[in-house]
Every structure is written in structure tokens, then in C-alpha cells.
Structure 1
Amino acid sequence: MRDMDKFPAPVATPQAAETELNQQLLGWYDRNARTMPWRVSPADRARGLRPDPYRVWLSEVMLQQTTVAAVTEYFQRFTRRWPSVLDLAAAQDAEVMAEWAGLGYYARARNLLKCARVVAQELEGTFPDSYDALLKLPGIGPYTAAAVASIAFDRAETVLDGNVERVMARLHDIHDPLPAVKPVLKEHAGVLTPQLRPGDYAQAVMDLGATICTPKNPACGICPWRSPCQARIAGTAPELPKKTPKQPKPTRLGLAYLARRADGAWLLERRPDKGLLGGMLGWPGSEWNAAPDPRPPFEANWQDLGGEVRHTFTHFHLILQVKLAELPSGYNLSPGQELLTRHAFRPQDLPTVMRKAFDLWAGSEFNPGPNG
């Protein structure tokens, strides 16, 4: 008998188990990392290439409550037009809001500009590299501060998005519902966050949730954490994480008034900075409530377009009635209103609900066609 056989085999400690989980996940990520325009691949990071904090921050702000597929085109347009935080800080508000149109949650765009200008004017164009310093910037909350600190600067911060919440709930077979259980899931995620390669780890666990540990039909058979996953063992993975039922969304009503001058110019108004669609161009219209005031922006022969616009916001459903009239040639603009010529007007610069109203007109009998 060899001397070493006299001693029992070492028992795996929790720390050793966590290290093994990290190694398994990072090994999987090295082979399967998603390619994204804002991401530095694990191979390139290993060669010393560091992510651009501006691109990481911009992508994380865009990705809030928005899918990678929806964000990619916007990110590419933004970085072509404003390749650095200094370029973005110097941009006109209206131009940035127009480029953001259609991405939704427009307060993000306003905060984007505020943050870029603080970084440009007070920090000499350099993003801070710590969670606490990032958290002090406008529009950056705990998740974004952790993500930028981790991904851009390799800080061992706990990054917890919806994908990570799902992975943690399943890995530990946690049945308490979100959002109340979020602190518990963050604690589990924090225990697993390594000191070595934390930026790659943060992206790896998010990729795991996005591509394998998906909300429906998780691909447990090819998951690098298949063996230790408690929900897979219990057969409960598809039903996790559980969520507290949401209250039904109310429905609000409104009117939108499309006014077009004989030469094709459109009357629009810029919404107040605070509030829904703040800072965006849109059609003059009523408040959105149960009984909107039907008074139009000016007296005219307003025609109903014969349809309605339906749109869902975070907290309510909206049904818009859309009316059309010819704008008098001598019309005097009211505060907040703008007149855009047919060549300056771009429907894609409108937020989605306003563009739906334009599309209703474009498909109606009132559209004179390309020459009208």
C-alpha cells in the first residue's frame, strides 16, 4: 500500500465547488461566447485587448428591458455617428432622441446624454473604473454600474440581470417568486463571482441564460452546469423562476392630430422632457386617459382616418383615434410645435406609437402618394 492510500480522499469544500463551477462555465464560454459588436471575445481579452468602457456602457443602457436583436442595429448606428463619449456629449439632444426613436423607454436616451456630458465635462472623457464611482453618474443604477465595472474593468462585481436570475433560481432550485427573491438570487450570484476573469464570467453566465438556460425548453442536456443543477435534478427547471402575478394593465384612450400643409410639411410637437416619450417629437394630441379632451390644436375640417392605433406601454395599453386636416399656410406655431418640410420629415425619427399613427395615414385613402 502506498503511503498516500492511508489517507482518505479530500472532501470538496464549498470554495472548491465554486471554483469548479467557474472553470466549467468559463471553459464553455471560451468555446461558445456570442459575438456582439460591443463585446471583446475571450480570446482577444486573453491577448490583452481591453473593452472600450464607452461601448460597454452604451450597450448596457440600450439593453435595459430590450433584446440583443433589437439593440444591435441601434448600437451600430450610434457608434458610427458618435464613436466616443466626447462625440456623444457634443451631440444635439434632438439628434440623439431621433436616433433612439423606436427603441423605447426614452428616459434612457435623456439619461444617456446627461451621463455622457458629465463624463466629458467633469471626468475628462474617462469613465470611472469602480462600482461606487459609476453609480454616481446620471442614469446608472446598480445593475449597470456592476456590469460596466465587471465587463469593462474586470472588477469582481455581481451582475444580476434576468438571465442570471433564472440561472441562479434553477441552479439552487429556488421557488420563492420574483421580485421579492431578487436579493437571495443576487447573494447566490455573488458567491459564484470569481476574482479571476470576472468580466468574462459575467458575460458567460448571461450567455448561459440567454442561449441554454432559456425561459422555455431549457437545453439542460448540453448545459455546463447540468450535474450540479438542483432544479434539473428535481425536474422543476421549466417552471423557474417563479414570479408574483402582475396586475392587469388598464387601457387609456387618446387622440392624435395629423396636420399636413399643402406643400407636404407636417406639424409636430416636442413632448416635455419629463414624462412619457419625454423629449421626443410626435403629433399634437390629447392627454391619454379614460376620457380625453377632444379639442384639436386648431379649428379645421378634421377627418377620421377610419382606424385606430393600439400600443402597449409598461403600465398601460393605449388606443389612439387618429384625425387628419390640412394645415393653413399662415399657421402660427404654438410653443413646442415644429413644422417639418416633406424632405426634413422622417417617420423613423418618431417614437413607435407616433409612427403607427403615421403608418395609418400612409395606408389610408387620404395619402396622395409619392407625388402628393
Structure 2
Amino acid sequence: MRDDDTTPSVAAAMLGWYDIHARELPWRVSPEDRAAGVMPDPYRVWLSEIMLQQTTVAAVKDYFHRFTSRWPTVQALAAAEDGDVMGEWAGLGYYARARNLLKCARVVTTEHDGLFPSDRARLLKLPGIGPYTAAAIGAIAFDRPETVVDGNIERVMARLHDVQTPLPAAKPELTALAEAHTPAARPGDYAQSLMDLGATICTPRGPVCALCPLNSGCLAHANGTAAELPRKTPKAPKPTRHGTAYLARRADGAWLLERRPDRGLLGGMLGWPGTDWAEAAPEPAPPANADWQPIAGEVRHTFTHFHLILRIEVARLDGSEPVTRGEYLPPDTFRPSDLPTVMRKAFDLARHHPVLG
């Protein structure tokens, strides 16, 4: 910001803009309703914030609707079966979030009488809630003047102050700048206004500076550097791992599936038995002694830290073979939508193979 601009002017400009341009989101209370005294449901705020971690609003909306229709309160979610919750989460990724979601719901229900605490210190003690999520819940659900900094807000702060330090090293500086601008009045609306600005105008590519309520004081706009910010330290290339997934079906139509251990990648999710995933081709590890047939094609999937290439082998089992991994799931209870994305890709590739028909 230019020296003649003050902190209140940023908040005032953003709140005035938000009152007109706030996005309509299923977990949000509009500024008009909030001004009339309607406060957000902390459960819905918490659920949306967990779902939105490293995930887009567009991807989250349908999941949010399904979760809140099936489990409308934190107590209802706490009483849900683990497998049902993991199945509804399938496809959203970062599955540790779903495991912590259940843990948190149960702690809130049993230790806090079904009420989310409003202060940062107690929120941070809940499973799956870190500094960002605690700040977001505090500000949005309880209107506490917390400093909320997500990727959108980092970008707005970097451009507003023309911060040239690359991320992630710039995080402390950007957080301090965000804190300096956080107002005591309407901090929840203010935090959401910055999120909306970053999502709709101060976008990663092609920011629409002419429509920005902060453009008159934005140093990056003045210096012509907005499109370049925030700078980021280049990431190391992701390695590629390889594996084999084994898709088997019994004569009565049941599928052989296993639930992965709670800890680790895809923890707690249903999946196909398979080999380890390694940079060198792993040793075969079929779950039963059968006539396994490799199929044409392969599954490619990218995780946060590596790329994965899966070979698929299929077999028809008669049910008498000893099975070393997994359990049979009857066809009337098997839902491909309960599988995480990489496992569903394997199913889609293999489902029409004659052996599995």
C-alpha cells in the first residue's frame, strides 16, 4: 500500500465491495442476513473449510450438499459409520481430512456438548484443525478478529504490497500484512471479501485490476507487477511410481476389495488389492492364486508428491481360492462412487473386460 493509505481504508473498501458482490455459497450467510443478526452455523463453516482445503469451490459444492443433507448436524456426523463417511468423501481427495472430520465431530459432540468452541486456542485442540482453519472458523462463524490467510488472501496481500519474496518464504510477511489490515468490525465478512476478491478479480492469471476495489492503493498494479505475483520458489520434479492393481470378481458377482489402513495414502478408503507403489517395478502380489490376465492400457494418476502408473490385472474367482487380502463385497452393495479417484479409474478401465462380465 502507498504510505498515505491507512488500514481502515482497505477494510472499508473491501466491505463495501463485498456488500454488493459477495458470492452466494451454500455454507455462507449473506452480508444482508448477517447485518440483520443471522449468524452462520459453525458446523457448516467448519465442514466447508475442511472440504475447501486444497480443493476448489466448484468441486466442493456437491459434496457439501450431500454431507449436510445426510448429516445435518455435527452430532449426526459423529454418529455416522466410518465407511459411509469415507464413501461420501470418495473423489474429493486428501483423505486424511475425512478421517479427521469424523474424529473432530466426535470430540465436539462428546467433549463440547455438540458446540464448536469460539476461541482459537480450543479450536486448535480439535482434530484436523490447524491455524488457518481455526482463524477461519473464529472469524466467519463467531466474528472474532482473527487473521485469516488462505491462498487467495496471500495473493491479494502480495500484490497489494508488491511483495517480491517468493512463496513459501513469504508466508510470515504476508500473514503480518494481512493481520495489519484485519478490522475489529465485521472480521468474518472482511475475510470472506478477500477470499472472493482473490477468486473472482485478483485471480492467479489475468487479474482484472480495473474492477478491483483496492486498485488505487495497490503497489503491484502501480508498478505493473501484479500478473507476476506472488512469486513462487520452483518445485522439484515429482517422481513417478509404478504398481499393479488386481481386480477380481467371484462367480456370484461379488468384487474383491480391501479397506486401506487408516494411516497412509488413501487411508480408510476402499480399494483394489495391489502391489506396493515404487519407482522400480514392484514384485507381483496378487491376492489369490488365479489366472490373472493383464489388460490393455494403464491408469495414470497424480498425487501431491508423485505421479502413479498402475497396470491392471483381472481374474474370475470361484470363491474357493484362499484370499490373502481383501473381502468380497456383494454387487448390490458395491458402489464405484465409494472408491477414491485412482481406484475408480482402474474400475472404469477394467469393468467391461470379459473376465469381469
| Runs of at least 5 residues in structure 1 that lack an aligned partner in the other structure | 1-11
Out of 285, 309, 331, the position equivalent to 1:295 is 285
Out of 82, 100, 124, the position equivalent to 2:113 is 124
Out of 298, 308, 319, the position equivalent to 2:298 is 308
Structure 1 match to 2:44: 55
Out of 262, 274, 284, the position equivalent to 2:263 is 274
- CA–CA separation in structure 2 for the residues paired with 1:212 and 1:189: 18
Structure 1 match to 2:194: 205
**Residue 285 (structure 2) pairs with residue 326 (structure 1):** no
Change in Cα spacing, 1:92 to 1:331, as seen in structure 2 (3 Å) is farther
The residue type equivalent to 2:201 in the other structure is I
1:329 positional shift: 2.3
The residue type equivalent to 1:42 in the other structure is P
The residue type equivalent to 1:188 in the other structure is L
1:333 positional shift: 4.9
1:338 positional shift: 2.2
- Whether the aligned pair in 1 keeps the contact of 2:289 and 2:322 (CA below 8 Å) is no
| Runs of at least 5 residues in structure 2 that lack an aligned partner in the other structure | none
**Residue 208 (structure 2) pairs with residue 219 (structure 1):** yes
- CA–CA separation in structure 2 for the residues paired with 1:323 and 1:351: 19
Out of 147, 152, 158, the position equivalent to 1:169 is 158
* 1:132-161 residue CA offsets vs partner (Å, 9 max, x unmatched): 110110110000000000000001000000
- Whether the aligned pair in 1 keeps the contact of 2:314 and 2:356 (CA below 8 Å) is no
The residue type equivalent to 2:144 in the other structure is R
Q: How large is the Cα RMSD of the aligned pairs? A: 1.4
* Structure 1 residue matching 2:314: 3-state secondary structure: strand
**1:85-164 mapped onto 2 (5 Å cutoff):** 85-164=74-153
- Whether the aligned pair in 1 keeps the contact of 2:74 and 2:105 (CA below 8 Å) is yes
The residue type equivalent to 1:173 in the other structure is D
- CA–CA separation in structure 2 for the residues paired with 1:30 and 1:172: 24
Q: Which moved more, 1:17-26 or 1:67-76?
A: 17-26
Q: Which moved more, 1:323-332 or 1:210-219?
A: 323-332
The residue type equivalent to 2:160 in the other structure is L
- CA–CA separation in structure 1 for the residues paired with 2:237 and 2:226: 27
- CA–CA separation in structure 2 for the residues paired with 1:222 and 1:363: 51
TM-score by length of 2: 0.97
* Structure 1 residue matching 2:178: 3-state secondary structure: helix
- CA–CA separation in structure 2 for the residues paired with 1:200 and 1:141: 21
1:180 positional shift: 0.7
* Structure 2 residue matching 1:269: 3-state secondary structure: strand
Q: Which moved more, 1:18-27 or 1:60-69?
A: 18-27
* Structure 2 residue matching 1:343: 3-state secondary structure: coil
* Higher alpha-carbon Rg: 1
- CA–CA separation in structure 2 for the residues paired with 1:295 and 1:51: 50
* Structure 2 residue matching 1:88: 3-state secondary structure: helix
**Residue 27 (structure 2) pairs with residue 41 (structure 1):** no
- Whether the aligned pair in 1 keeps the contact of 2:315 and 2:355 (CA below 8 Å) is no
Q: Which moved more, 1:321-330 or 1:48-57?
A: 321-330
* 1:218-275 residue CA offsets vs partner (Å, 9 max, x unmatched): 0000100010000000000000000000000000000000010122110000111000
The residue type equivalent to 1:18 in the other structure is T
- CA–CA separation in structure 1 for the residues paired with 2:349 and 2:127: 37
1:341 positional shift: 1.2
1:30 positional shift: 0.5
- Whether the aligned pair in 1 keeps the contact of 2:287 and 2:324 (CA below 8 Å) is no
Structure 2 match to 1:4: none
1:342 positional shift: 1.3
Structure 2 match to 1:67: 56
- CA–CA separation in structure 2 for the residues paired with 1:148 and 1:66: 17
- Whether the aligned pair in 1 keeps the contact of 2:316 and 2:356 (CA below 8 Å) is no
The percent identity for this pair of structures is 66
Give the paired residue count: 355
TM-score by length of 1: 0.93
- CA–CA separation in structure 2 for the residues paired with 1:240 and 1:41: 30
The residue type equivalent to 1:254 in the other structure is G
- CA–CA separation in structure 2 for the residues paired with 1:198 and 1:13: 23
1:328 positional shift: 2.1
1:292 positional shift: 1.0
**1:230-241 mapped onto 2 (5 Å cutoff):** 230-241=219-230
Q: Which moved more, 1:154-163 or 1:326-335?
A: 326-335
Out of 243, 248, 252, the position equivalent to 2:237 is 248
1:125 positional shift: 0.3
